[in-house]
Amino acid sequence: MWGNAAVVRARPLTSIVTDVTKAVRKGGHAQITSQEWQSRGQDTIDKPMSSPIHQFAKLPQDASPAPAVVPGAAPAPRAREIGEAPRVGVIYNPRSHGNKGVDFDCDQSPQVHFALPGDREDLPNALADFVQRGIDLLVINGGDGTVRDVLTSGAAIFGDNWPAVAVLPKGKTNALTFDLGVPTGWTLQEAIDAFDQGTRVRRRPMEVTPLGETQKSRLLGFILGGGAFTTATTAGQSAHKMGAFNSMAVVVAGVLGVCQWLFASRENSWRKGSKMRIGLGPDDTPLEHSGVGDPEWRQILLASTLERMPGGATPFGTARGGLKIAVTDQISRKSAGIVLQMLRGKTPENIREKGFHQLSTSQFTLRIEDSFIVDGEAFPPGEYLIAQGPELEFVAP
């Protein structure tokens, strides 16, 4: 996310699909097994790997910021004087796809403070500085990956006292802002104006923590996926390089997935999925299996706390809040059409018997032997608890 990004122009969808198909065939299997992670060692964290998507060696650990700020002890939101402008802290990622230059389009007010972190390790200090300045509004200028990194770094600093948050959709994918109803061209000045004149939308990101670890490691994000979702994300990255972004990239990956289901063998990564176990709720009740395919494998896992997904997709069925998961077993070729129906909000009868699962849960455990995706980047195989994180108040038009 904080690496160099080339500027790519949009291209027609048909041309993109053709080129991405060639790229995916050339790139092969995109998932990373637990043995491969171990062989790479722990020095690979935050370093680019030989994959179209960035691979993390482990979940981020809570960092202690250098300034004199007690982690998790941010003060409660302050009361402003009548007519006082809000204090604003802006995290600006100059390498996000939509940031071609400095987006300082607001009045140069002393109430607006900017931070341009060089990498992820600089985020805790930047956020701690915002705490000391008593900001009312945190503006994140970047895409879904930038949002994930800022929320993850901020969890130990803000605790339960987060300021209001606004997101400027400047990434290759901007699923969160789509859900919030934020327009593509939303500017910093408009976000500041919306603090008093706009609307507020409450969302809780997912919080991913390793099972059985004593040192606090966690990850906050809004879309988690495994199995063929990892392969689809790789296809999406290839689509980005060829000019497809946001909803168009979702369409490209979806088209490729259906083609692979229809024509590829069971060993193809799109159809094989990943070996995983999913436990539901505080009791860790195993998710049932339809009996379609290998019971130790799932073709796709998708989880999110968003209520609207890019491209109008409805993988969780009826729109609703909270933590939702959608899982498919190793379905047959003839079931590929059901996937398209479900993405369009049409749920056939007896879908569980056909290998499809849609449900809501307070939390779930994931024991997975391949890498999995959170907001566009890959994290290592292992055993994890996925629950809902802090409730955040987002500013929208």
Q: Are residues 271 and 356 in the same domain?
A: yes
Q: Are residues 191 and 229 in the same domain?
A: no
Is residue 323 in some structural domain? yes
Q: What residue has token string 């070996």?
A: 275
CATH number at residue 119: 3.40.50.10330
Q: Are residues 158 and 285 in the same domain?
A: no
Is residue 381 in some structural domain? no
How many domains does the structure of the chain reveal? 2
Q: Are residues 160 and 252 in the same domain?
A: no
| pLDDT of 371 | 93
| pLDDT of 74 | 73
Q: Are residues 94 and 32 in the same domain?
A: no
Give the C-alpha separation, 105 to 102, whole Å.
8
Q: Give the angle 351-255-264 at the CA atoms, nearest 5°.
A: 75
| pLDDT of 295 | 94
| pLDDT of 50 | 33
Closest to 63 in 3D by CA, of 2, 119, 140, 138: 119
Residues spanned by the domain of 331: 13-40+223-374
| pLDDT of 253 | 57
Q: Tell me the pTM.
A: 0.81
Q: Are residues 358 and 243 in the same domain?
A: yes
| pLDDT of 232 | 77
Q: What residue has token string 């389009």?
A: 105
| pLDDT of 251 | 55
pLDDT tens, N- to C-terminus, the chain (397 residues): 554 443 444 444 444 444 544 544 444 444 555 555 455 443 333 433 234 566 788 888 886 665 555 555 577 777 787 888 999 999 998 766 555 555 455 556 789 999 998 888 999 999 999 999 999 999 999 999 999 999 999 999 999 899 999 999 988 889 999 999 999 989 999 999 999 999 999 999 999 999 987 668 999 999 999 998 888 777 655 544 544 445 555 555 555 655 666 555 566 666 789 999 999 999 999 999 999 899 999 999 999 999 999 878 888 988 889 999 999 998 877 776 777 777 777 777 888 888 999 999 999 999 999 999 999 899 999 999 999 999 999 999 9
Q: Are residues 252 and 280 in the same domain?
A: yes
For residues 142, 171, 223, 388, the Cα torsion angle rounded to the nearest 10 degrees is 10
Q: Are residues 245 and 188 in the same domain?
A: no
Q: Are residues 31 and 99 in the same domain?
A: no
| pLDDT of 48 | 32
The residue type of 380 is: P
Is residue 18 in some structural domain? yes
Q: Are residues 241 and 337 in the same domain?
A: yes
CA atoms within 13 A on the CB side of 281: 6
Is residue 315 in some structural domain? yes
Is residue 232 in some structural domain? yes
Is residue 395 in some structural domain? no
| pLDDT of 340 | 72
Is residue 2 in some structural domain? no
Q: Are residues 270 and 179 in the same domain?
A: no
Q: Are 96 and 170 in contact (CB under 8 A)?
A: yes
Q: Are residues 238 and 168 in the same domain?
A: no
Is residue 266 in some structural domain? yes
For helices 13-27 and 247-263, what crossing angle results, to 10°? 60
CATH number at residue 291: 2.60.200
| pLDDT of 384 | 97
Q: How far is CA 377 from the centre of its chain?
A: 8
